[in-house]
């Protein structure tokens, strides 16, 4: 079974969650973890499962303007935020817009502030919709992993992400698993 985990991250939290999800998949799948900027169409060609995640910005999925705001915040004097190496590259929205029609299984996640999704929004809901539009079938519902107001992952989130990775593997159809 082959899985590809594609992330976008400004401050590194979504990248950390992407790698934690891959740890949950490790016993079951061969996997690659790549940023949206590195996700070539060839990588998707043999994937049995595509997992896509990004940070929640302005109640949804980031856009170039929200990524610029995020980068500006990191560059302010006194900021403790560090920009991800791929922060200035196109994100998940642009990557999905550039895909041809696809097929196969997918799942979406995001990072966001804690609080009712009605108030915070969830990038993973938008990602789910865009994945469906591209022809993917969703293996499970969107999942969120939480950060503090100063952009640090809340306690327990990487463990949750590993568990979620395991639950994705457990939800795969048996014919996919036997094709390892």
Number of amino acids touching ligand FMN (CB under 6 A):
22
Q: What does the per-residue mask of binding to ligand FMN show for 145-174, with x meaning CB under 6 A?
A: --x---x-----------------------
Which of 121, 127, 143, 165 is the binder for ligand FMN (CB under 6 A)?
121
Which of 13, 22, 28, 35 is the binder for ligand FMN (CB under 6 A)?
13
Contact status: 79 vs ligand FMN (CB under 6 A): no
Strands annotated E in the chain: 2-7, 30-35, 49-57, 60-61, 105-113, 137-138, 143-147
Q: How far apart are CA 120 and CA 58, in angstroms?
A: 8
| Residue 96 CB partners (closer than 8 Å, separation 6+) | 52, 127, 130, 131, 134
154 close to 148: Cβ distance less than 8 angstroms: yes
Which of 12, 24, 142, 165 is the binder for ligand FMN (CB under 6 A)?
12
Residue 56 is given by DSSP the state E
Pairing state of beta strands 137-138 and 30-35? Answer: unpaired
Contact status: 176 vs ligand FMN (CB under 6 A): no
Contact status: 35 vs ligand FMN (CB under 6 A): no
Task: From 28-36, 110-118, 128-136, 155-163, give the range in contact with ligand FMN by CB under 6 A.
Answer: 110-118
């Amino acid at each position: 079974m082959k899985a590809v985990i594609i992330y976008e991250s400004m401050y590194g939290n979504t990248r950390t969650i992407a790698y934690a999800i891959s740890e949950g998949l490790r016993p079951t799948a061969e996997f690659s973890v790549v940023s949206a900027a590195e996700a070539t169409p060839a990588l998707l060609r043999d994937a049995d499962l595509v997992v896509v995640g990004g940070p929640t910005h302005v109640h949804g999925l980031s856009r170039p303007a929200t990524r610029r705001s995020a980068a500006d915040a990191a560059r302010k004097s006194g900021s403790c935020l560090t920009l991800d190496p791929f922060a200035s590259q196109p994100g998940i929205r642009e990557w999905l817009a550039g895909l041809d029609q696809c097929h196969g299984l997918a799942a979406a996640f995001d990072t966001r502030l804690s609080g009712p999704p009605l108030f915070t929004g969830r990038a993973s809901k938008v990602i789910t919709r865009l994945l469906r539009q591209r022809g993917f079938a969703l293996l499970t519902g969107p999942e969120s992993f939480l950060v503090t107001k100063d952009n640090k992952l809340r306690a327990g989130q990487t463990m949750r992400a590993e568990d979620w990775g395991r639950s994705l593997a457990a939800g795969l159809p048996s014919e996919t698993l036997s094709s390892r």
